[in-house]
């Protein structure tokens, strides 16, 4: 039998056109496979996961969501369109740097050890088991010195140290309560502003410790959705006994931890008449236990023609990265110091500081 008969069939069975097409397809298959292998994106793989600091710009880009961690992920095959999750919790962002490096921004994730998973669309393409550890963070607390205002008579008289709401002690605690004062409302006037008494409404200075929610921008903390570090200070709403709504105007934010007892030597500089008003027992205008109290004073004298007077005060100091602080202000030697009482305001500077009576501390 001839290979091609008079009807153009190969071995009498296959049309030559069909045979040519089949041969062409057989040649294309390995070519197509080779092209796929040559140009396909390599499968992502994770070599290491390291926790790194979060930048201010990344907090801003989080759009109000709280960032709990930032992970530097190194490996191969990374692409811009990948996404990441911590176990089943989607990450806030997968920031592509290059095929071998990317950052993963982690939002709110339960404490514990988790897997880092990378997806291409809905398909899992890489996983690092037990690569992410989220520590359990105890609830933050903050001490606030301020004024509860717009109180009715019963609520104002019932305020005393203890839980803000006895039926829900976890909501916070009143540490100290000042005297009842008539309620005031500030109204604009031609000369600025004036306080006008509000009939049958009262206010009381207080020192309160409250649980503090993490602020999304890490500017301190928030209570009831209000960032406490904002300017001007916000008025926050609290729930008191019998579900009473309390309004708290913030005067000072203080650490929740107790202060360290300290003794400071202050050199006051003011007109002689003001210096003569300073007496032992004078206390700074604060309900908090940190308030400076004058214990001893020296005779008034003149230095380069300026009246001065040295005094020793006891106070509560808080340690910080910048040195010891008193009511939020640096109190190391050389720092300015102001004593405010109901009789006078005297300014001077710190010339010596001793913490826990262990001698001068200079920072």
Q: pLDDT tens digits, residue range 71-113?
A: 999 999 999 889 999 999 999 889 999 999 999 999 888 888 9
- The 8-class DSSP code of residue 343 comes to S
Tell whether the model's pLDDT for residue 181 goes beyond 50: yes
Query: In this structure, are 105 and 169 located in the same domain?
Result: no
Query: In this structure, are 276 and 337 located in the same domain?
Result: yes
- Ramachandran class of 210: left when φ > 0, alpha when ψ lies in -120 to 50, beta otherwise: beta
* 2 domain residue, yes or no: no
* 363 domain residue, yes or no: no
Query: In this structure, are 171 and 268 located in the same domain?
Result: no
Query: In this structure, are 229 and 313 located in the same domain?
Result: no
Query: In this structure, are 31 and 54 located in the same domain?
Result: no
* 360 domain residue, yes or no: no
Q: How far is CA 72 from the centre of its chain?
A: 22
Computed from CA positions of residues 249, 253, 258, 259, in that sequence, does the dihedral angle turn out positive or negative? Answer: negative
Domain count, the chain: 4
Q: What is the pLDDT of residues 304-361, one digit of tens each?
A: 889 999 999 999 999 988 889 999 899 999 999 999 999 999 999 999 999 986 544 4
Mean pLDDT confidence for 119-142 = 86
End of a domain among 113, 134, 155? 134
CB 146 within 8 A of CB 251: yes
Query: In this structure, are 316 and 344 located in the same domain?
Result: yes
pTM reported for the whole predicted model: 0.61
Residue 66's CATH number: 2.60.40.10
* 147 domain residue, yes or no: yes
* 100 domain residue, yes or no: yes
End of a domain among 219, 237, 255? 255
CA atoms within 13 A on the CB side of 96: 12
End of a domain among 134, 162, 195? 134
* 201 domain residue, yes or no: yes
Quote the tokens at residue 80: 């811009």
Question: Residue 72: which domain range?
Answer: 45-134
- Residues with Cβ within 8 Å of 309's Cβ and at least 6 positions away in sequence, in order, are 267, 268, 275, 278, 297, 298, 299, 300, 301
| pLDDT of the residue at 350 | 96
DSSP line for 13-24: TEEHHHHHHHHH
d(CA 22, CA 40): 27
- Residues with Cβ within 8 Å of 273's Cβ and at least 6 positions away in sequence, in order, are none
Query: In this structure, are 245 and 179 located in the same domain?
Result: yes
Query: In this structure, are 90 and 184 located in the same domain?
Result: no
Query: In this structure, are 215 and 114 located in the same domain?
Result: no
Query: In this structure, are 190 and 240 located in the same domain?
Result: yes
* 4 domain residue, yes or no: no
Question: What is the pLDDT confidence band of residue 135, given thresholds at 50, 70 and 90?
Answer: confident
| pLDDT of the residue at 361 | 46
Coil, helix or strand for 154?
helix
Cβ atoms within 10 Å, residue 290: 26
CB 239 within 8 A of CB 245: yes
Query: In this structure, are 116 and 64 located in the same domain?
Result: yes
């Amino acid at each position: 039998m001839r290979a091609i008969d008079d009807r153009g069939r190969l071995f009498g069975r296959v049309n030559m056109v069909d045979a040519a097409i089949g041969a062409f397809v057989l040649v294309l298959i390995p070519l197509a496979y080779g092209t796929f292998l040559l140009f396909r994106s390599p499968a992502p793989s994770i070599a290491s996961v390291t926790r790194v600091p979060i930048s201010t710009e990344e907090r801003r880009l989080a759009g109000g969501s709280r960032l709990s961690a930032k992970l530097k992920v190194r490996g191969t095959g990374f692409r811009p369109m990948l996404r990441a999750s911590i176990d089943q919790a989607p990450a806030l962002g997968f920031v592509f740097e290059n095929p071998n490096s990317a950052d993963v921004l982690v939002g709110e994730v339960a404490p514990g050890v988790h897997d880092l998973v990378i997806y291409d669309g809905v398909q899992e393409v890489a996983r690092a088991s037990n690569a992410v550890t989220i520590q359990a963070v105890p609830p933050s607390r903050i001490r606030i010195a301020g004024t509860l205002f717009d109180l009715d008579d019963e609520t104002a008289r019932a305020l005393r140290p203890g839980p803000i709401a006895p039926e829900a002690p976890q909501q916070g605690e009143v540490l100290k309560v000042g005297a009842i004062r008539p309620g005031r409302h500030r109204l604009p006037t031609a000369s600025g502003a004036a306080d006008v008494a509000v009939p049958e409404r009262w206010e009381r200075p207080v020192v309160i410790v409250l649980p503090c929610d993490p602020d999304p921008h890490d500017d301190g903390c928030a209570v009831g959705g209000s960032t406490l570090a904002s300017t001007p200070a916000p008025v926050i709403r609290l729930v008191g006994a019998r579900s009473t709504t309390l309004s708290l105007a913030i005067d000072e934010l203080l650490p929740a931890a107790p202060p360290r007892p300290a003794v400071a030597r202050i050199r006051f500089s003011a007109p002689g008449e003001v210096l003569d008003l300073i007496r032992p027992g004078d206390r700074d205008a604060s309900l908090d236990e940190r308030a400076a109290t004058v214990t001893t004073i020296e005779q008034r004298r003149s230095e380069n023609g300026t009246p001065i007077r040295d005094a020793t005060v006891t106070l509560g100091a808080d340690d910080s990265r910048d040195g010891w602080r008193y009511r939020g202000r640096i109190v190391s030697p050389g720092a300015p110091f102001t004593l405010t009482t109901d009789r006078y305001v005297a300014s001077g500077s710190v010339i010596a500081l001793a913490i826990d009576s262990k001698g001068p501390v200079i920072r």
